[in-house]
Structure formats: structure tokens, C-alpha cells
Structure 1
Amino acid sequence: MAKAKKVSRNSRVRRAPVVNPNRRSGLGGLSKEAARDEKVLPLIAKLASAEPKERAMAASAIATLIEEPTMRQLLLKEKLVHTIMDQSLSDSSEEVVMEAFGILRNLAIEEGYDICVFLWRRDVLTAMAAWLEKVKGRLDNFSALGADQKSLTFDLAEHLISLAENLGTCSDDIMDSVLDRLPGLVEFALKLLSTLFVPASTKAVAAEALYALSEANGAVLGQIQAAQFATDDDQRPLVKVYLSGVEYNMYEAKVASIDLLDVVRPVVAVVKSIDVGASLAQLRAAADAPEAAPSADTAAARDAVSAVMVALELLTSVAESVVAGAAKTAPPPAEDDMDDDEAEPVPDMDVDEDPAVADLSESPVAELLVADVIPAVNTLVGHADLRSRALNCLNNLAWTLNTVCATAPQWLAYAEALWTSCAGLLKDAADVEIQTACVGIMWAAAKSFGGAVPVELDDVRWLTTLLHNAAGDDTLELRVRIVGLLGVLGMRQGRLEITKEVSVLLFTLAALVPKTEPAVAIEALNALFDVFGDQAYDYDAELFVRGGMLKRLTDVQPQIKQMAKKIDKRKNLELRTKADEVAINLQRFIAYKRDEQKTKPRK
């Protein structure tokens, strides 16, 4: 199945999704050496200035430069993190401290695991805990604060919460430390969300942290549930989506009685309510004028697009949950002796699919996915900045619906439309992610129709060329999906030339092991099992029997066994398991086809 691999949603959406490709890099035309001497070193030196304002301005400038990869590396080479930890976090100016936490937050976002582990080992949590208590105290006495101190307090809150989120989602050990050393973090984030005078930007950061920290985390979910968490219809779109994400995390962890429909409906409503085109245009205009002061319109547009991106991420995960709930738990494969040439004949090689509903009224969630979710997501494919995310979401939705309601007329109507649109998009796409998603959607659509989709021999050859031209680790999933798609197309009877083209490719991929990567070879063999699963197929006698496929597969069998044995199960247990299964199934398939040829063809 070509569903997107499950990735932790803690690899979160960036808050500024649109980048102007014409915008100059942070080097501003300077060489690295010149940028170091003219920008980096002066800024780091100013962190030790006698003037608090100069220190704060330098820290603010550094926080911005960190977003540019080259400048970030130059700053890190000059021991920026050590300077911030040893000097800026204990600065007498609270503004400098606030900017220092902002620098660490940005570094954690951009650099990820390595920086987070380093900060944790340097005991950044001690400073964070102290300042979090100060922020809490100020919010309790908020009316007594001046305007500047109020703004500073909210900035500190955002940086501390976001840094804690990035640290916690980095590893389980650090998550445990964050929850232990910052025991009031979850309660504080919830309080920010329920307090009227808290700015929208701060609420968005708090909601994002709750969403990320609560993923598969019973301790955090327990704290949220104990606080009688409930979504607020008055919240802005981005916060609404994050809080729906928290509800989804509760649903997945089964810590509360939550209807998945109640999670999905508000997310779809948010997507429908946003003028995505106008928001993207606003962000591009802002990117084209980097020197202009940030505007409220730009902030609103950024939040709107971020809301859509998080919604796509969430809906992609929801699709997985629907299938996981419907899937049966298959027993492990029998322990076969893979060195035996004979195996007990398998009476039927047909895939035992989970039963799918034909009437969507029997599955309210599937009905919602077809009626509301797919149309809403499909409209986003037209926006280049969101296309990859939208297609990945559609890919998971397509496979979900192929599993739970493959024959439902409403789904088949969309499956046909998705086949047509993705086939056209695939021909024009150069981006591997776009190609991979398109092929996955086409595979699911074709499978729902049993391969009976409009396709010509030239289309099969074009896909074969795409397969052969794809190279590198980043194209492996694309190649696996192309093989799977071609296997479904090859199963359709009445198209002898297409089936012949496909079967030759599938066998060639298997025969070229070990040159063919195991994942591709496994998919090719599984496709062959399906294509030639019954001698009654109108092409079986011509292609399998007279083509001598049985002997050729028998000759390939030792290579497949060796391929499986060479995969280190300690490094890739999933792939090794699949390889062992396909080696066993090849042995069974050969025995099955050998026995089948001894009998009369089925009527």
C-alpha cells in the first residue's frame, strides 16, 4: 500500500511557509569570509556591549539571521550557543534574555536534534524554569505592568513555550526532563489559551505546543484532560486546528470519549473558510519587500496558511487512523523452510482484502471524507506552495477509501477524477515529492477500479521510463509505487499487450536482484503474484505458461532467498520481514502454479 509513511507530527509546520525564490541570501552578496568578518563577528561582539539596547538589538538581529542556513552555520562556528548560554541568559536586561531565548528557540527549530541535546546537556531547563515562573507571576499581576513589560512578557512566554516544545519532542528522555523540570508547562499553556488579554500569536504558540507535546504522550494528555480541556469556537483558525489536533491525540490514545467526526468537521470548516490564494499572495508580497515593517495583514495571512498546512497534516494522520481501525490483525507468516524446493500448494493466491462497504451511510467517517474532506483538500492542489502537502493528504485519503469503501459510487466518482488529474499532473511534474504522491493516488484509484482505468501502452512505457530514470535514495518510494501501480494495471484482462509489458518489467526487476533494491524487488514479486494469481485470466496461458515464467521464477528463487538473508533485521526489521515473506510466498507461488498447470483451466 502506498500510504505516506507515518512520521511524527512533531516535525512541525513552519510558521512562514512561503519563501520568495528571488530573495537574496543572508550573505547579501558577500563571501563567507566577508560575511563572517562584517556581520557575524560584530554582532557577537555586541552581545557583550556595555549598552543593554545594543546587546538586545544584536541578539534580535542574530535571531533573524539564524533562519538563513549559511549565516546560521557561520554563527555556530563562532560559538554562538556558548555565548548565549554563558552570557546572554543571565544578562541584566530582560530584553536581552528574551531575545536570547528566541535565538535558542530558532536554533532548536532549524537544527533539531543535535542542538536540542546540547542545550539539554548544558542544563538550559534550569534557566527556563526560573523565567517561566517569572512570566507566570507577571500574568497573575498583569494589570500592574506597563505596556513595554506586557509585550516583553508575552514574547518571553512564546519563546519559552516554543523552546520547551522543540526540546520535548526531540527525544523521549528530554521529554521526560521537560515535564519533570517544567511541571506547570501544560497548565500554563492551557491558561494562556483561556485568558482573554493574551495575544493571538501567544495563543497560537501555546496551542501548537499542546498539539505537539500531547502526541502519543499519556502524561501530557492526562494533564490536559484533568484541566477539563475543551475547544473554543471563538479561537482563530490556527488555534482551532491545533486544538482539534489535541482532540485527535486524545482520540488516538483513547484517553477520552471523542468522536472522530467531531475532530474532522471543524478542521475541514477552517480550510473552507480561508481564502488561500489571497493569503499566499499577501505572504509573497511581504517576501518581496523584506525591509518593510511587518503588518497585521501579513501576520493574519501567515496564520491562515499555517492553519491550512497543519490541517493537511492532521487530515493525513486521520486517514491513517480510519484504516488502522478497519484493518484486521493478520497472523504472522508460518515458519517455512526456505531451503526446500517444494512447498505445500496454496489453494488460492487471491489477496484476502478487508471487506469494504458499498453504501457510505454505513461508515459516517468515510462519508465525511468523500463528501467534504477530499473536495476541500483537492482545491489546495492548485496552489504550488501547498501542492505537495495536499497531494500527500489525498494519497492517504485515497488509500483509506480504497480500503473501507472501494466500491462505493461516491468514492469511485472521485477516484476517477483523481486518476485523470494526477495523470496529467504527473506528466508535468519534475519534483520527486509531487511525482511520488501522484503515483500513489493513481495506484489507489486504479486498485479501486480493479485496474479498469483509461490507460494506453504508451502510458505504461512512460511510467517504465520514469522508473528507470529515477535514481537515488529520495526516489525509492517513487519507484516502489510505480511498480505497484503497473502491477494493478497489468491485472486487467482484455489488455494483453499492456499485461505483457508489465509482466516483463516485473520479472526483470526480480531477476536483477541484487542490483534491484529489495523494496522494489519485493513490490515487483507481490505484483507478479497478483497478475498471475489465476490460470483462468485470459492472458495467463499466453504469458505465464507459454512464456516459461514458471521455470524463470524457479531460477530466480535462490537470489530472492539470498536478498532476504542479507537484510540486517537489527537495522531494518520491517524490510527484512517483508523480504522473508516474499521469499516464502515465491516458494508457495511456484508450487501453486506448478500444481495449477497439472489441472484443467477454471471455467
Structure 2
Amino acid sequence: MGKSQKKRNMRRHNPMRVPDSHLPKGLASASSSSSKTGAILPIIQKIESLDPQERKWACVAVSSLIYNDPSTRRLLQGKNIVGTLIGCLTDSEEEVVVEAVGALRNLCIDGGYDICAEMYNKQIIAPLQTFIPKISSTLSQYIEAPKTAPENAQKVVYEFADNVITILWCLSETSNKALNAVNQLALMNFLMAFLTYRDKLPLATVTSAAQCLYVLTDDNQPAIDEVRINFSHISCLLDIAKSHGADVNGKGKSEERAATLSVLASGILRNLAPIPPPSAAAHLDLDKDVLLPILVPVISSVSLLEASGAVQQLLHNKREEPSIERASAGHAPKSDHKSETELELERIETKLRSIQLALEILTGVCATLPDPDEAGEDERDDEPEEAEGAVDEPPADDEMALDEAPQPPPPAPQSSSFLPTLLEPLLSLIQPTPLSFPPPDGPSPHPPTTSVLSAIHTAALECLNNAFLSLAAHPSPAVAADVVAGRRVWDEVWRALGAAGTQGGPGQERRMEMWEIAVGVLWGVGVVWSGLIVPQEEQVQILIQLCDSKSDAAVRVKCIGTLESLAQHPESIDANRVISAYFLSLLPTSTAPSPAGTEPMLQALSAIIDIYSDENKVYDVNFRQGKYLDVLTGAVEGVRKAVKAIDRKKEGGRELRRRGEEVRDNLVEFIKYRRQLGL
């Protein structure tokens, strides 16, 4: 079964705060949907002015105009604002450079992949590279003699460093090309310096450095090696992780950032695992001794329903506040000028982002529970079957595994040892709130909250997915005996899916993502408690419809696997008949291929063999009365053709071909076995 693994081309901690997939494409639509179209031309004119004050004002105005406003951001992007701002990074006036970096940082945060890719293509790395030694030199002076510079000058440098680091963090998650370019900057010592001197630097800047480190050490060997060789770095990260934010004095947002910093340090340590000796961390069970004691309290710390309610109340209050103009031609606006309501909204978002981050790290913990190794699989392939054609174990799903998945660190604790601790908070975090998804007819009333809430739901489902698929691969008698727990997880997942709904279209992608991940959880639960989950007619039909509606073979395979587990409930003969008839409809004939595609077809065929491998089961009556043996016999030639047509040269093709040959052989033997029974 396929666990959710991290891949470099998929953002693990997504800094994009405002999803804009609901907006139509093109400049015309951006212009018509933006309320600030008239402000664009003055900004473009002033950013190219000979007057440095006007250039500075224009850079700040960009930040103000794009704040939670994707239409205006797209309109500016169409006017080459990215290229213009990158040009400002070499401006002769220092203040213009500072504000241009701030505007580019905000574009990264609010714009996501497209704008980051555009920045990389327009050579932003070159000017950023020149800033690194200057920042290092200035910070060294401030740390050694903090009173040598005015407080406002220090503030500018700290914010400038924060913005540069955030841009590098976002670029690192844009593409492998951008990541390689950032690797060439050898940033590890630079970034670790912020963590080392965290007590003398602003928490926001330190946290940004930790975010960048977390991203750069995520399955990126050059960065991992650069940090590993310095044992003082490991000690520093361990101290921060174990502090749980306790060493930082402050209230409100500072407390949230301190907690986030502790979580980030935990994540960086896990990225670096295994820690080489003689570091003290080398002798720790990192997951058990460090990560779980830190991360479980974080994911248990907030009720998402209460957080959603608090945001809705703040939005109501905000509508009643007097409007504050963020940018005007008369003066340079402050990019950090925010009302108390806005600050409280940001505090809640920061807290929720720390939960999202903790869940992402926990997903990795669950993903590295031991899988059957290749040798073990080969040994099973060579072993004789107990009964001819019988398939006693759940089918191996190597075709679902990601080819690029990294080698796992030392085994984590068995899932059964920590699953009870994780189960309650995870089941709570998968439940949608009123702000979890945008309404069908437009954007969310507060896109940042919607973005993080939906990310939390999917990350929590990823944790459950990996935990239960791990248990399915390594059965725990103690867990399997707790049938009440299994049925509760099953019911809670369906409750979450019912609340998410099936609304499709632009801007609703997270709803479908929840379904696609959740069906993996259901599959794992179904295997762990095989034959013990009572199939409900509505759920069976929904799974069949989901399978038919998806083009993604992996999602179809998960639907089929879930249905297979339901078909094995001994008293549910009618459900068994419906499910097995559906599986048979996915099989090829001698003249027609499978309507579902090769991979789902193989899963369905393997499921039929598994379900009816024991002729003494009550529901075997369906096999006999439905003349399934004739249908399977008629499918043999089509299965052979489909397996032969699998291209080994394609990604995952070698594993799928091996899997197909195994299922094909099992089918032939199963038919022989059932014929010999004479039933």
C-alpha cells in the first residue's frame, strides 16, 4: 500500500496564503475583478521615476495593493512588476532596495509558484546573492556591539534579512532548478547563525531562518550534509526543539512564533536523521524522545471550530472599523501598519500554521514506519501458496509507491505504540469548519484562514493514511482487537467527507483532495479490521462513483481496495454481490480492454481472487450463482494482453509489470482451483 511521501516537486509547507484558482485567467478578467485598477498606472510610472522617494513609495504601494487581493496581484504581474522590482534590487538608493525586497517577498507569499518561478527566470538569485555577506557583516556588528546602531536602523536590517530569507525559502520550493541555484549559495551557516544568536535577534527573523532551513534540508542532500558536519548546529537545533518556546518571553504572536520555532527545529532534526555521532542526538530515538512529546501537544492545542468562530467574529468587527487607506500618493505607507483586528487574525493564522507544520512532520513519522523490503517481497513471491491460487495477504501495491521516495531513517516506533495518542487530535483536525473551504459562488471571506484550515484537514488525513496503511502492512493484534476504535475512525472519516461535500470547480480543489486522501485512510482501516466494518449501501455507491469519476489510477486503486475490505464482511451478502459485480465490470475481455485502466483492473482482479479464496465464506454463494468463474475465464486473455502492454520504461512501469505478471499467474491458478472444487 502506498504511503504519502514527501517529494521535492510538491510543497510541504506552503507559504502561499491566498488561493486564487477560482479567478478566471487573463489580464482582462484580472482588470475587471480588481477594485484597484486605477492605482496600477501611477505605481508603474512612479517605480521608474528619477525621484528615489517616488520609487520607494511605489515599491511599498505594491505590497499594500496585493494584500489578500489576487486580482490586483495578477494585474500587476501582467505589467511586469516582478521584473521591475528585481531591477530595483540594484537601485542606488538603499531605501528603494529595502522596499523592493519587501514587495518581492510579499509577492512570493501571496502569489505562490507562478510568481516564484518568474522571479527565478528573471535572475533574482544574482542580486540576492550579493545581500548575504552584507547581512552577515551587519548582523555580526549588531550582535557584538548592539548599541552601535540606532534601534530603527537595526529594525530595517532585521526586516531586510527576514525578507531576503523568505524569498530564498519560497524559491527553494519552486523547482529543482531553483533549489540547485539556492544550494550554490551555501546558506546553512548563514541561516544557522540566526538560530544560534536567537536570544539577540527578533523572533520573526529567526523563525524565517528556521523555515528556510526546514525547506532546504527536506530531502536535499547538499544542505543536509552541510548542517550535519557541524555538531554545534545539531546541539542548537536540539535545544530549540526541546525548549517548546519556553525560552522566549512574550505574549500573543511572539508566543505563537516561539512554538513554531520549536516545531521547525524538530522538523529540521528529522530531515537530518540519522544524526551522526559523536553528537548526543545520535543516541536518541528522535521520533519517540523528541518529536512526539513536542508535536502531539501542538496538534492538540486548538479547536478548529473555535478558531473558525473567532475569525468570523473578528471579520464582523473589522467591517465595523473605520477604513484605513493603505497607500496614497501623498506619503509612503507603512507595510506593517495593521489594526488590532488584523494582528489578531494573523496571530490565529500563525497558530494554525504551526499545527499544519507539526502535522506535516508527523506525516513523515508515520510514513517511515517499516515497509516490507524488496527482499521480503521477493521471498514471498517464491514461496508456495498454502492453497492453490489462494491469496491470503492484502495485495502488495508497489505501483503506488513513489519512485523518488527517499530512503527512510532508522525505524520509528511501531504505529500501535503512539497511535492512541495521535488518534483523538487527528480525528478532530479532519473535521471541516464553516471557513475550511470557499463558498461555491466566490472566494472565502478570509482566504488565509481558509487556506490553512483546509491544509490542516488534508495533513491530518495524511497522518491517518500513513498510520493505518502501516498497520495494514504490519498487523498489530492489539489494534485489530479494538473493533470499536476501527469503526469509530471509519465513521469519523465519513463524517468529515460529508461535511466537506463534493463541490467541484475552480477554488474547490481542496475538497477533492480531502476525498482522495481519505479513501486511503478508509482502505487502511478496512484492511486492519478486515471483514469487521459493516458496509453501508450509500457508502458503497459513493466509493463506486468516486472510482468511476477519477482518472488518477492511484485514487481508483484506493477505492477498489476499500471496497474489497467491505465485500469481506461475512453477513453482508448483498453488498458483496454489488461490489463483486462492479469489480467484474472492470475486467477486460479477449476483445476489449478494461474501462478502468490496467492498474485499477489488476487491483480489482486481485480483490476478486482474495475475496473468494475461501469457498466456505457465506458470501461465496454470489460467486457460484453469478457464474463468476466463467467471467474470470473469459478475462484471462485480456489480462495477458494488458500485462504484456505495460511499458517497463515508463515511471513505475517495472514494478507495475511485475505486479501484473503476479496477478495474471494468480488468476490462472485461481481458476484451476475453483474448477477443482466443482462447486
Which category of TM-score, normalised to the shorter sequence, fits these structures? 0.7 to 0.9
Q: Which residue does the alignment assign to 2:294?
A: 266
SS at structure 1 position matched to 2:128: helix
1:241 partner amino acid: V
Q: Which residue does the alignment assign to 2:494?
A: 423
Residue by residue over 1:328-385, the C-alpha shift from the partner in whole angstroms, topping out at 9 and shown as x without a partner, is: 74229989xxxxxxxxx9554222789xxxxxxx995434532322222222233442
2:293 partner amino acid: R
Q: Which residue does the alignment assign to 2:601?
A: 521
Q: Which residue does the alignment assign to 1:550?
A: 629
1:218 partner amino acid: Q
Structure 1 residues 552 and 254: alpha-carbon distance in aligned structure 2, compared to 1, 3 A threshold: farther
- 1:503 matched to 2:525? The reply is no
Q: Which residue does the alignment assign to 1:391?
A: 461
2:194 partner amino acid: L
Residue by residue over 1:99-141, the C-alpha shift from the partner in whole angstroms, topping out at 9 and shown as x without a partner, is: 3223434444566666555544544333112212221122122
For 2:110 and 2:644, locate their aligned partners in 1 and report how far apart those are by CA, in whole Å. Answer: 39
- 1:208 matched to 2:211? The reply is yes
Structure 1 residues 398 and 34: alpha-carbon distance in aligned structure 2, compared to 1, 3 A threshold: closer
Q: Shift of residue 319 of structure 1?
A: 0.7
- 1:320 matched to 2:341? The reply is no
- 1:480 matched to 2:557? The reply is yes
For 1:352 and 1:421, locate their aligned partners in 2 and report how far apart those are by CA, in whole Å. Answer: 24
Q: Which residue does the alignment assign to 1:251?
A: 273
- 1:350 matched to 2:392? The reply is yes
Match of 1:369 among 418, 429, 433: 418
Q: How does 1:293-304 map to 2 (within 5 A)?
A: 293-295=338-340, 296-304=343-351
Residue by residue over 1:148-174, the C-alpha shift from the partner in whole angstroms, topping out at 9 and shown as x without a partner, is: 322221221112112222333434444
* TM-score (norm: length of structure 1): 0.83
- Identity among equivalent positions (%) equals 22
Q: Shift of residue 575 of structure 1?
A: 5.4
Residue by residue over 1:18-46, the C-alpha shift from the partner in whole angstroms, topping out at 9 and shown as x without a partner, is: 889999x9x9x984398685132221222
Structure 1 residues 108 and 518: alpha-carbon distance in aligned structure 2, compared to 1, 3 A threshold: farther
Q: Shift of residue 2 of structure 1?
A: 5.8
Say what the alpha-carbon RMSD is for the aligned residues: 3.9
SS at structure 1 position matched to 2:560: helix
For 2:371 and 2:276, locate their aligned partners in 1 and report how far apart those are by CA, in whole Å. Answer: 14
Q: Shift of residue 56 of structure 1?
A: 2.5
Please identify, of 221-230 and 7-16, the stretch whose mean Cα deviation from structure 2 is larger: 7-16
Residue by residue over 1:175-208, the C-alpha shift from the partner in whole angstroms, topping out at 9 and shown as x without a partner, is: 333232x23x211221212321322221221111
Preserved CA contact (<8 Å) 1:271 1:308: yes
Structure 1 residues 479 and 72: alpha-carbon distance in aligned structure 2, compared to 1, 3 A threshold: same
Q: Which residue does the alignment assign to 1:81?
A: 82
For 2:528 and 2:18, locate their aligned partners in 1 and report how far apart those are by CA, in whole Å. Answer: 35
For 2:534 and 2:173, locate their aligned partners in 1 and report how far apart those are by CA, in whole Å. Answer: 45
For 2:16 and 2:121, locate their aligned partners in 1 and report how far apart those are by CA, in whole Å. Answer: 30
Preserved CA contact (<8 Å) 1:16 1:302: no
Q: Structure 2 regions of 5+ residues with no counterpart? A: 249-257, 325-337, 397-410, 437-452, 503-510
2:424 partner amino acid: P
Match of 1:306 among 344, 350, 353: 353
Q: Which residue does the alignment assign to 1:404?
A: 474
Preserved CA contact (<8 Å) 2:33 2:71: no
Structure 1 residues 89 and 353: alpha-carbon distance in aligned structure 2, compared to 1, 3 A threshold: same
1:308 partner amino acid: I
Preserved CA contact (<8 Å) 2:629 2:674: no
Q: Shift of residue 435 of structure 1?
A: 2.6
For 2:461 and 2:129, locate their aligned partners in 1 and report how far apart those are by CA, in whole Å. Answer: 41
Structure 1 residues 178 and 245: alpha-carbon distance in aligned structure 2, compared to 1, 3 A threshold: same
Structure 1 residues 576 and 505: alpha-carbon distance in aligned structure 2, compared to 1, 3 A threshold: farther
Structure 1 residues 484 and 166: alpha-carbon distance in aligned structure 2, compared to 1, 3 A threshold: same
- 1:101 matched to 2:77? The reply is no
Residue by residue over 1:552-588, the C-alpha shift from the partner in whole angstroms, topping out at 9 and shown as x without a partner, is: 2232233334434555544x42256325523541343
Preserved CA contact (<8 Å) 1:550 1:590: no
SS at structure 2 position matched to 1:502: helix
Preserved CA contact (<8 Å) 2:567 2:576: yes
Q: Shift of residue 320 of structure 1?
A: 0.5
Please identify, of 283-292 and 191-200, the stretch whose mean Cα deviation from structure 2 is larger: 283-292
Structure 1 residues 285 and 135: alpha-carbon distance in aligned structure 2, compared to 1, 3 A threshold: farther
For 2:161 and 2:554, locate their aligned partners in 1 and report how far apart those are by CA, in whole Å. Answer: 41
Match of 1:585 among 663, 669, 675: 663
Structure 1 residues 325 and 40: alpha-carbon distance in aligned structure 2, compared to 1, 3 A threshold: farther
Match of 1:455 among 515, 535, 551: 535
SS at structure 2 position matched to 1:38: helix
Structure 1 residues 58 and 284: alpha-carbon distance in aligned structure 2, compared to 1, 3 A threshold: farther
Structure 1 residues 245 and 33: alpha-carbon distance in aligned structure 2, compared to 1, 3 A threshold: closer
1:420 partner amino acid: D
Q: Shift of residue 459 of structure 1?
A: 4.2
Preserved CA contact (<8 Å) 1:247 1:263: no
1:403 partner amino acid: A
Q: Shift of residue 504 of structure 1?
A: 0.5
Q: Shift of residue 537 of structure 1?
A: 3.1
For 2:53 and 2:306, locate their aligned partners in 1 and report how far apart those are by CA, in whole Å. Answer: 38
2:418 partner amino acid: L
Structure 1 residues 178 and 456: alpha-carbon distance in aligned structure 2, compared to 1, 3 A threshold: closer
For 1:390 and 1:595, locate their aligned partners in 2 and report how far apart those are by CA, in whole Å. Answer: 43
For 1:18 and 1:168, locate their aligned partners in 2 and report how far apart those are by CA, in whole Å. Answer: 19
Structure 1 residues 173 and 408: alpha-carbon distance in aligned structure 2, compared to 1, 3 A threshold: same
Structure 1 residues 75 and 462: alpha-carbon distance in aligned structure 2, compared to 1, 3 A threshold: closer
Structure 1 residues 455 and 595: alpha-carbon distance in aligned structure 2, compared to 1, 3 A threshold: closer
For 1:168 and 1:14, locate their aligned partners in 2 and report how far apart those are by CA, in whole Å. Answer: 12
Match of 2:179 among 160, 172, 175: 175
Structure 1 residues 514 and 367: alpha-carbon distance in aligned structure 2, compared to 1, 3 A threshold: closer
Preserved CA contact (<8 Å) 1:95 1:152: no
* TM-score (norm: length of structure 2): 0.75
1:72 partner amino acid: R
Match of 1:432 among 509, 512, 516: 512
Match of 2:196 among 188, 194, 197: 194
Q: Which residue does the alignment assign to 1:154?
A: 158
Structure 1 residues 303 and 349: alpha-carbon distance in aligned structure 2, compared to 1, 3 A threshold: same
2:95 partner amino acid: E
2:362 partner amino acid: L
